[in-house]
Amino acid sequence: MIPERVEEPQVCRLSEARRTVEPCSMVIFGASGDLTFRKLIPALYHDFKEKLLPAEFRVVGFARREKTTESWRAELRQALEQFSRTKPVDEEVWAAFARHLFYCQGDLADPIAYARLEQLLSAPGNPALRCNLVCYLAIPPSQFGLAAEHLHRAGLLQRNDPANGSPRGWQRIVVEKPFGHDLASAQALNRDLTRFAAEPQIFRIDHYLGKETVQNILMFRFSNALFERLWHRDAIDHVQLTVSEAHGVDQRGGYYEEAGALRDMVQNHLLQVLSLIAMEPPVSLDAEAIRDEKVKLLRSIRLFSPEDVARHVVRGQYRAGTLNGVPQPAYRQEPRVRPDSNVETYVALKLFIDNWRWSGVPFFLRTGKALPRSASEVRIQFRRTPHVLFAAQCGPKLDPNSLTLRLQPNEGIILHFNGKVPGTTIAVRPVRMHFSYDAEFGAYTPEAYERLLLEAIAGDATLFIRRDEVEIAWQIADSIRAGWQDKPLSDREFYAAGTWGPVAAEDLLAQTGHAWREPMVIKPST
Ligand code: BG6
């Protein structure tokens, strides 16, 4: 018998896993804030553990609170206990990592604090640790300009185009969302920052772009001839993008009152995922080529007129309800939320992309808090078969084919098609082909920030948002907000926590004979 030959899948590497990262320092502004403890330090710890950081590097935490390097390290160690994705924390790795961490106490508006920072960075060692800097602004956007100006004055930030190199090393600024609260404020932030740093030095974070499955959208689309051939209006009926969250706003009521679901999720994460799903193939995989295509796509999204908003956008806010038998408070009862708040915790919308590929194909997007489960997925629904063979018996009951890109959790890709039910009767029913990340690749689940911080250190801007991208995304969000005209929420716009949103969101699809597909319940395969 000829033994079955099992072929090792051939891996086509487009970039080196361990790229050259130059010695540098990362200065974290807002070093005593939540983000530093929950995300940034755990991410750097894991990057260090994986030996992905430069051999020589420093992390300097800058914040107003009185602390010493030792006390900051002790706090970070404790936080790691809670927020590290791998447990237990490896003491040996931590001890080695902690030697790279330093604290600089200071006020963002105080020039002397920046002089202290400069001194700390100039400590004996490789001179690159003084001039190659990643400045992470984990501070309110209103202070981005202030920090950039002081850094510049202290000689720590030179405006240059990193592509041309500089004898004074390179400096990059990483900024968190929210990047403004509308187009005008985002433009103002861009003006503030670009006074002291050139656009290629600015790395605007959208942590969704750091997620493996989101990065896989481009690889999946453009490395497979099979699906890309179907990726257009002739084959696709509509697209659904759901980012649902089971939790409410928890302790973030203060922030959320200023944001709401449209600004918090749609303007950034949902539009980013959408642009990857719908963009044209880039001419290469470099940052500018990819971002050019995303921008082109965002520009082709039809802006909403007030009439479109009335017809195509549904907002909602959760009332008290129950989730898995556990009572949930109403949004208006959450800490730091106004008791008569009109902020939306849910948005569903139908949008059109006015280009050749997508003309006439509706894209339905929805996101909300206090929904029945947390899951993010994109469902591409193909057109129905022509009604020939099955029309009489099944008619519209025959499920159209669809492809689900499951972004989280239990990441994977699922193809839904119809198959014959075995037996003497002739019956068809939907079946699935399921690719699951963990079954195929094992449990490799780096946090988005692990990747994003490394990219910023390496100077690759592919996974960051460019100035024009952020501005167009605000234009789209603003056109929706303008349609709401600060009108108070009507009764129809509330939904009970633990349900799939206001009834009007169902009508949004029902108008055209569609229905939302609930995100799938998928069990981990390992
Ligand atoms: C953040 C939002 O950007 O993304 C949060 O501010 C939201 O409100 C979070 O919960 C969702 O991120 P993830 O990675 O949990 O899907």
Distance of CA 206 from the midpoint of ligand 1 (Å): 10
What confidence tens digit (pLDDT) does each residue in 87-142 have? Answer: 899 999 999 999 999 999 999 999 999 999 999 999 998 999 999 999 999 999 99
Residue 505 has pLDDT above 80, yes or no: yes
Nearest Cα residue to atom 9 of ligand 1: 265
Residue 68 has pLDDT above 60, yes or no: yes
Ligand 1 pocket mutation pick from 83, 263, 269 by most atoms within 8 angstroms of CB = 269
Say yes or no: CB of residue 292 within 6 Å of ligand 1. Answer: no
Q: In this structure, are residues 371 and 500 in contact, taking their beta carbons and an 8 Å threshold?
A: yes
Q: Which residues of 254-264 are buried (b: 16+ CB within 10 A; e: fewer)?
A: eebbebbbbbb
Q: What's the CA gap between 160 and 50, in Å, rounded?
A: 31
Q: Mean pLDDT across the stretch 182-209? A: 96
Q: Mean pLDDT across the stretch 414-422? A: 93
What confidence tens digit (pLDDT) does each residue in 243-286 have? Answer: 999 999 988 999 999 999 999 999 999 999 999 999 999 999 99
Q: Mean pLDDT across the stretch 301-318? A: 97
Say yes or no: CB of residue 245 within 6 Å of ligand 1. Answer: yes
Q: Within 10 A of 132 (CB to CB), how many other CB atoms are there?
A: 24
Residue 340 has pLDDT above 60, yes or no: yes
Atom of ligand 1 nearest to the CA of 255: 6
Say yes or no: CB of residue 206 within 6 Å of ligand 1. Answer: no
Say yes or no: CB of residue 450 within 6 Å of ligand 1. Answer: no
Q: What's the CA gap between 184 and 190, in Å, rounded?
A: 10
DSSP E strands: which ranges in 221-368?
A: 236-244, 313-319, 321-323, 326-328, 346-351, 363-368
Give the distance from CA 44 to its chain's centroid.
19
Handedness of CA 19, 20, 23, 29 (dihedral sign): negative
Distance of CA 265 from the midpoint of ligand 1 (Å): 7
What confidence tens digit (pLDDT) does each residue in 137-194 have? Answer: 999 999 999 999 999 999 999 988 655 556 679 999 999 988 999 999 999 999 999 9
Atom of ligand 1 nearest to the CA of 247: 10
Nearest Cα residue to atom 6 of ligand 1: 264
Residue 3 has pLDDT above 70, yes or no: no
* 269 annotated active-site: yes
What dotted CATH number matches 19-204?
A: 3.40.50.720
**Confidence band, pLDDT 50/70/90 cuts, at residue 2:** low
Query: In the chain, where are the structural domains located?
Result: 19-204, 209-510
Atom of ligand 1 nearest to the CA of 376: 16
Say yes or no: CB of residue 149 within 6 Å of ligand 1. Answer: no
Question: What pLDDT is attached to residue 18?
Answer: 59
User: From the CA atom positions of the chain, what is the Rg in Å?
Assistant: 25
Say yes or no: CB of residue 264 within 6 Å of ligand 1. Answer: yes
Distance of CA 366 from the midpoint of ligand 1 (Å): 14
Distance of CA 292 from the midpoint of ligand 1 (Å): 25
What confidence tens digit (pLDDT) does each residue in 479-500 have? Answer: 999 999 889 999 999 999 999 9
Q: What's the CA gap between 308 and 483, in Å, rounded?
A: 8
The mean of the pLDDT values for the chain is 92
Q: Which of 207, 269, 312, 416 is catalytic?
A: 269
β-pair partners for 61: 28, 103
Q: Mean pLDDT across the stretch 342-361? A: 97
Give the CATH class of 209-510: alpha beta
**Confidence band, pLDDT 50/70/90 cuts, at residue 385:** confident
